[in-house]
């Protein structure tokens, strides 16, 4: 198990290194420079500013300087926010993003499981079809469309929730709902397919023969067995939440990393783009690793396989 973990952690760093390299060069291919009011600057002013940030050097040298910085534990300084450290920027904006992501994940997965289970138990009835339609909508409608619709109807028209901002729990509800739609739909589809399979298996037949109630069978036997493959979905769901949150945070003016990220792309804030990308990648890789560990915990067959059973 330890050997396995060490190997996985090595791969994690390798992945991050490749992501950093690819992002760096892709970013350099973007049009524009980080300079504001570029047209008004003289050539010598431009050159001195670029030199100050090391942007006058050849790209490959900039790359090595940057990677060297990462190995020293520094993500560099932001261009746009008067030379704040990127790591500080990410740290200070992580809270709202994590809260939104976490809330959306919990809401999405819980309601997704319920929706999927209802679909499977009431297979081929109106309840199943309704669940299917809802989950197709959840996957097909992008989070930003849903965000705007929620903002307009629940926020503006009905006035139930604040339209935008970040001043308390009420402000988190609409962005959470907008973000939760996709994981909810994914979970529901996944659980339904899986549970239909599980419900037709022999051990469910045996559970029926024991005289367990329908609820008891689903709760004690079907759910756990359907949830095991579901764990593999956590990684992709987290990815969807992260990418979704970038746009949704912007729409609801949530002071999170996603909002920061979009802004930094618009102004060519190279260190921030790099920093946030690496941060997101690291988070995703960690979640995938966590997924595999959790998988082992809930499925006893995997847990002990390392002990040569």
Partner 1 sequence: MENPENIIEVRNLQIDFHTYAGEVKAIRDVSFDLRKGETLAIVGESGSGKSVTTRSLMGLLAPNAVIKSGSIMFHDEDIIKKSEKDMQHIRGKDIAMIFQDPMTSLDPTMRIGLQIAEPLMKHKGLKKKEAVAQALEMLKLVGITDPENRINDYPYQFSGGMRQRIVIAIALVCYPEVLIADEPTTALDVTIQAQILDLMKDLQNRIDTSIIFITHDLGVVAGMADRVAVMYAGKIVEYGTVDEIFFNPQHPYTWGLLNSMPTLDTEGGSLSAIPGTPPDLLDPPVGDAFAARSDYAMKIDTEKEPPFFKVSDTHYAATWLLHPDAPKVTPPAEIVRRQKKFATMQKPEAPIKHETKE
Q: 289: closest CA among 23, 18, 20, 6? A: 6
Helix (H, G, I), strand (E, B) or coil at 159: coil
User: Nearest approach, Cβ of 210 to partner 1 (angstroms)?
Assistant: 4
User: Nearest approach, Cβ of 299 to partner 1 (angstroms)?
Assistant: 6
Answer yes or no whether residue 211 interacts with partner 1 by CB under 8 A. Answer: yes
Q: For the CA atoms of the chain, what is the radius of gyration?
A: 24
Binding mask 278-307 for partner 1 (x = CB under 8 A): --------------------xxxx--x---
Q: For the segment 214-233, give every residue that binds partner 1 (CB under 8 A).
A: 216, 220-221, 224-225, 228
Residue indicated by tokens 């809260």: 99
Give CA 82 to chain center in angstroms: 29
Residue 106 to residue 235: CA distance in whole angstroms: 14
User: Nearest approach, Cβ of 307 to partner 1 (angstroms)?
Assistant: 11
Helix (H, G, I), strand (E, B) or coil at 82: coil
Stretch that binds partner 1, among 30-38, 74-82, 212-220, 249-257 (CB under 8 A): 212-220
Quick one: tokens of 154? Answer: 């629940």
Stretch that binds partner 1, among 30-38, 88-96, 202-210, 264-272 (CB under 8 A): 202-210
Q: For the segment 146-185, give every residue that binds partner 1 (CB under 8 A).
A: none
Quickly list DSSP for 12-38.
HHHHHHHHHHHHHHHHHHSSS-S-SSG
User: Nearest approach, Cβ of 208 to partner 1 (angstroms)?
Assistant: 6
Answer yes or no whether residue 267 interacts with partner 1 by CB under 8 A. Answer: no
State which of residues 98, 196, 212, 282 lies at the interface with partner 1 (CB under 8 A): 212
* Residue 217 or 287 having the CB closest to partner 1: 217
* Residue 208 or 263 having the CB closest to partner 1: 208
Residue 116 to residue 99: CA distance in whole angstroms: 25
Answer yes or no whether residue 207 interacts with partner 1 by CB under 8 A. Answer: yes
For 181, counting Cβ atoms within 10 Å of its Cβ (0-12 exposed, 13-18 middle, 19+ buried), the class is buried
DSSP 212: -
Answer yes or no whether residue 203 interacts with partner 1 by CB under 8 A. Answer: yes
Q: How many residues does the chain have?
A: 309
The site for partner 1 (CB under 8 A) is made up of 201-203, 205-213, 216, 220-221, 224-225, 228, 298-301, 304, 309
């Amino acid at each position: 198990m330890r050997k396995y973990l060490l190997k996985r952690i090595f791969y994690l760093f390798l992945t991050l290194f490749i992501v950093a390299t690819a992002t760096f060069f892709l970013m350099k291919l973007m049009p524009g420079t980080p300079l504001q009011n570029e047209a008004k600057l003289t050539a010598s002013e431009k050159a001195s500013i670029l030199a100050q940030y090391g942007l006058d050097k050849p790209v490959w040298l900039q790359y090595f300087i940057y990677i060297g910085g990462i190995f020293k534990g520094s993500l560099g300084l932001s261009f746009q926010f008067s030379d704040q450290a990127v790591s500080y920027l990410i740290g200070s904006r992580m809270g709202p993003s994590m809260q939104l992501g976490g809330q959306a994940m919990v809401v999405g997965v819980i309601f997704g499981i319920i929706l999927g289970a209802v679909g499977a138990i009431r297979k081929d009835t109106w309840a199943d079809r309704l669940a299917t339609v809802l989950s197709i909508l959840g996957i097909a409608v992008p989070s930003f469309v849903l965000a705007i619709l929620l903002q307009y109807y629940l926020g503006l028209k009905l006035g139930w929730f604040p339209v935008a901002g970040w001043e308390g729990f009420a402000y988190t509800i609409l962005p959470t709902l907008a973000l939760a739609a996709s994981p909810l739909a994914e979970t529901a589809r996944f659980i339904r397919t899986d549970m239909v399979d599980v419900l037709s298996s022999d051990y469910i037949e045996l559970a029926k023969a024991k005289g367990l109630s329908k609820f008891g069978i689903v709760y004690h036997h079907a759910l756990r067995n359907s949830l095991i493959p579901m764990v593999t979905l956590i990684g992709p769901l987290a990815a969807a939440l992260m990418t979704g949150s970038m746009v949704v945070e912007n729409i609801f003016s949530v002071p999170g990393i996603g909002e920061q990220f979009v802004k930094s792309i618009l102004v060519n804030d190279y260190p921030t783009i790099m920093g946030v990308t690496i941060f997101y990648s690291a988070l995703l890789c960690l979640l995938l690793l966590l997924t595999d560990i959790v998988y082992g915990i809930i499925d006893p067959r995997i847990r002990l396989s390392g002990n040569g059973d």
